[in-house]
Structure 1
Amino acid sequence: MTDAEPIDGDVYVSPRYLAGTTGTGGPALAPLLDLGWELRHDDLGNVYVTAPDRRVRLGYLPEGEDDGLWRINAYKDPFGPPTWSVCFNDSTPTEFVRAFTTVLATAYEQGPDAYLARPDPLTDEHEPFLAVAPLLKQGWEMDRPRRGVFAIQAPDKLASLEFTTGSLDPETELTTRTARWQLWVGTSIDRPAWYATASTDTPVALIKAVTQCVCDPTPLPRWREETYSYVQGLAQLTPVIPPRSPAPTPLDLQRAASRRPAALTTLSVPRWSTTSRPALPGPRR
């Protein structure tokens, strides 16, 4: 973010995984649309984005059948079952979805060997765990919450990335949270604040893009009134302080005085307000 770009929010939320969604899908769709992927939508407002070769499809589903707001599938055969599938629920911070779609766009430009590359335990049995390396560097700790599941937890215990071992049913991975990878945030896995899942053959580079973004220590901007109830008391909210305008020079004052009636002897200085914000999107279903 450059100094010239406006900050969409009046508080910074830290750690960033407690920020919640921005409620907008555009930033996460942009990396794929910039490549010329096809965009269409239905009468309900759901959005569908498809790669030119029809091998990758994204659904942004605010009016879907469940809380899976973002669903991304990849196919070796455009008419066959998905090779891998990723889901982000409706409370996932949009920045994390954008991190995923940005790396997906790069992989797509590199060709099928990149975006359809499945982890190969025969060549590197540790390859799947490359996705947790960014978390370990930020002080996350290994855990084993239940049989057959390895996890790595944030220092505050409010975020976990889980990796399930053994065989998994492909259909179950596509339709439930019982997937090879699950990232969730909150105090209970049964009622997470938000979650994301990735099936067995999801390229590790795509998962790593999300974990890198999740553990980035940089806070995320949000509007205070939109922060979810679970944030209160758990996340640190720091007011966004707008950049100060440079002090006017004597020449600036002289020019300003020459453009106003003589009776006006003071400059009108606009004040920044946390109540000034763009219009909110309509409520979700």
Structure 2
Amino acid sequence: MSPRPDLHRDIDGDVYVFPRHLAGSTPTGDPALAPLLDRGWDLQYDEDDNVYVNAPDGRVRLGYLPEGEDDGLWRINAYKATPFDPPVWGVCFNDRVPTEFVAAFTTSLATTYQAGAYLARPVAGSAERDPFHAVVPLLQQGWKIDRPRWGVFAVNAPDGLGGLEYTTGYLNPAAELSTRDARWHLWAGKSIDRPYWYATASTDTPVALLTALTRCVADPAPLPRWRAETSSYMKGIAQLIPVLPPRPTAPTPLEVRRAAASRRPTALPAPSITRWSTSSRPALPGPSR
């Protein structure tokens, strides 16, 4: 049975999309920018209305690029010194990735940057920085281990409509930052060759950031969307659950007592004038004088 949320808030949508990795993006990227802007990161625009958000020291840069040259809507790079140096790591989300997934990444990025750990390289066998930790949230929700080809470790969604691949061995650092030939490749759709959405992360992307992303992807709760804005591609493979109106809350004991008191009859004052009814008999004539 598909999960249906029990808590009803101000929901931006008229359907829930299940599973959530088939939800697609939202019309605005503001929720994913907010975690960084709330920490005082600098916001800039270019002449094409692309958005750039920079860390206070300029060593992390996010680009929200609706007018970019390809479908890489979100590009996030970290630098050891200045943006003029080659990026230490880079992440890309294409234009259909659920915005909530990007927000999970940027929320973790804001915290990791504040702690000075945004350049923490993955270390195999480490208690906290082993790349395998990023896969655990997916395995805990029933994603299955796969070996699709030599040199690639993968986990696939239970419905077969999504997956995460980790490539072993040497990779071209420049290609990792500009193509889908990256260390990490997360996707959803009918096949990895032509995914509906995808995200990539280069070799030295901190495990804490990747784990925040996979934890959000693995969350079993569906995501709210507007049916009219849901792509026909996803309508054909995802479950759309109507959003129900809010359920009335149970009354408190005080409210029950007040309601009962309001229903009690109140005593009527004694009448000062005799009241006649249709059943009253007429007065008898008095004795004649």
With the shorter chain as reference, the TM-score category is 0.7 to 0.9
Matched, 1:91 2:84: no
Pick from 178, 183, 188 the counterpart of residue 186 of structure 2.
183
Which residue of 2 is the match for residue 236 of structure 1?
A: 239
Q: Distance in 2 between matches of 1:20 and 1:82?
A: 28
Contact 2:14-2:242 within 8 A present in 1 as well: yes
Q: Distance in 2 between matches of 1:206 and 1:246?
A: 38
Secondary structure of the corresponding residue to residue 230 of structure 1: helix
Pick from 118, 130, 135 the counterpart of residue 132 of structure 1.
135
Which residue of 2 is the match for residue 77 of structure 1?
A: 81
Q: Distance in 2 between matches of 1:181 and 1:205?
A: 14
- CA shift, 1:229, in A, is 1.9
Identity %: 68
Matched, 1:167 2:162: no
Instruction: Report the AA paired with residue 143 of structure 1.
Output: D
Q: Distance in 2 between matches of 1:171 and 1:226?
A: 36
Matched, 1:154 2:157: yes
Which residue of 2 is the match for residue 221 of structure 1?
A: 224
1:13/1:47 Cα in 2 relative to 1: closer, same or farther (>3 Å)? same
TM-score (norm 1): 0.83
Deviations 1:145-175 (A, max 9, x none): 1111111001111010000000000000011
Matched, 1:47 2:47: no
Q: Distance in 2 between matches of 1:144 and 1:132?
A: 14
Q: Distance in 2 between matches of 1:153 and 1:48?
A: 33
1:105/1:236 Cα in 2 relative to 1: closer, same or farther (>3 Å)? same
Contact 2:146-2:156 within 8 A present in 1 as well: yes
Count of matched residue positions in the alignment of Structure 1 and Structure 2: 250
Q: Distance in 2 between matches of 1:85 and 1:62?
A: 18
Q: Distance in 2 between matches of 1:122 and 1:108?
A: 23
Unaligned runs of 5+ in 1: 255-285
Which residue of 2 is the match for residue 8 of structure 1?
A: 12
Contact 2:129-2:206 within 8 A present in 1 as well: no
Deviations 1:114-160 (A, max 9, x none): 11000123757981111000011001110011111111001111010
- CA shift, 1:100, in A, is 0.1
- CA shift, 1:230, in A, is 2.2
Pick from 201, 211, 215 the counterpart of residue 214 of structure 2.
211
Q: Distance in 2 between matches of 1:105 and 1:126?
A: 18
1:204/1:72 Cα in 2 relative to 1: closer, same or farther (>3 Å)? same
Pick from 191, 197, 201 the counterpart of residue 198 of structure 1.
201
- CA shift, 1:42, in A, is 1.0
1:122/1:23 Cα in 2 relative to 1: closer, same or farther (>3 Å)? same
Q: Distance in 1 between matches of 2:185 and 2:131?
A: 13
- CA shift, 1:28, in A, is 0.3
Q: Distance in 2 between matches of 1:135 and 1:122?
A: 19
Which residue of 1 is the match for residue 68 of structure 2?
A: 64
Which residue of 2 is the match for residue 38 of structure 1?
A: 42
Secondary structure of the corresponding residue to residue 12 of structure 1: strand
Secondary structure of the corresponding residue to residue 135 of structure 1: helix
Unaligned runs of 5+ in 2: 263-289
Q: Distance in 1 between matches of 2:249 and 2:121?
A: 54
Pick from 95, 116, 122 the counterpart of residue 119 of structure 2.
116
Give the alignment's Cα RMSD to 1 decimal: 2.4
TM-score (norm 2): 0.81
Secondary structure of the corresponding residue to residue 61 of structure 2: strand
Deviations 1:151-205 (A, max 9, x none): 1001111010000000000000011000000001111212100000000000011
1:246/1:186 Cα in 2 relative to 1: closer, same or farther (>3 Å)? closer
Larger radius of gyration: 2
